[in-house]
Each structure stands twice: as C-alpha cells, then as structure tokens.
Amino acid sequence: MDHRGEDPIDRELEAMAGSAALAREVKDALGRMRGGAAGPELAEMAEDLLAGRVRLRDLATTSVYAGPLMTGVERYRQWEAELTPEQRETFGAQIRARFGADLSDHRHDPIHRPTGLWPDD
C-alpha cells in the first residue's frame, strides 16, 4: 500500500480503529480539538498527535495529557449514562450505519477498552 501523502498518524489511527472510515472520523475530531473545541490542553495534544510528535500509544504513559484525557472520557461516560434506552438505540443505529460498528461490542471500543494504547497491546 502506498502511504505517500498521509499524515504521521493515519496508519496508527486506522490500525487502532480497525476501519478507514472510523479512522477518518477520529482524525477529523482531532482536527476540531486542535482548533480548541475541547480546550487548550487537548488542542496541544491533538496538534502533537497530528504532527507526529507523539503517538497514540504514548498517551497512556504521558502524564501531561492524562488529566485532560480522563476528564474527557468521564464527560463521555456521563453523557452516555444519561441517554434513555431509545436515545441509546438511535445512537447505536447511527454508529452501525455510519461505521459498521456495534457499540455493545467493546473489543474495538476505545472508551471501554483502549486497544493499541497500552504498551502490552
């Protein structure tokens, strides 16, 4: 496969996400974060990731980003916990339609099991 024209993070995202479409979505989200959508600390992290100065797997061992990342994960978990069963089903259907992923299958869910981030993965 020809990887010319890719950013440093492209192959890492696709390997972690297991899908080119999901990898593009994550990269788009990182672009929004880089623009400040999630605050200055995560903007810096996104910039470092997109520029190839830090790898995804390194985030698990980088104390600089641990606090902001855990805050973001906790906010997501709180949002998810507050969904009604109907909202959860609608959200799941949208994810399955867009990415072919099932939210109840946590094997590839970076929130419930961050595959590829830990040194032993």
pLDDT at 11 (0 to 100): 86
**Is it the case that residue 97 has pLDDT exceeding 90?**
no
> Does residue 57 register a pLDDT over 50?
yes
Instruction: Express each pLDDT in 58-84 by its tens digit.
Output: 887 788 888 888 888 898 899 999 999
Q: What is the 3-state secondary structure (H, E, C) of the chain?
A: CCCCCCCCCHHHHHHHHCCHHHHHHHHHHHHHHHCCCCCHHHHHHHHHHHHCCCCHHHHCCCHHHHHHHHHHHHHHHHHHHCCCHHHHHHHHHHHHHHHCCCCCCHHHCCCCCCCCCCCCC
* % of residues, the chain, pLDDT over 90: 26
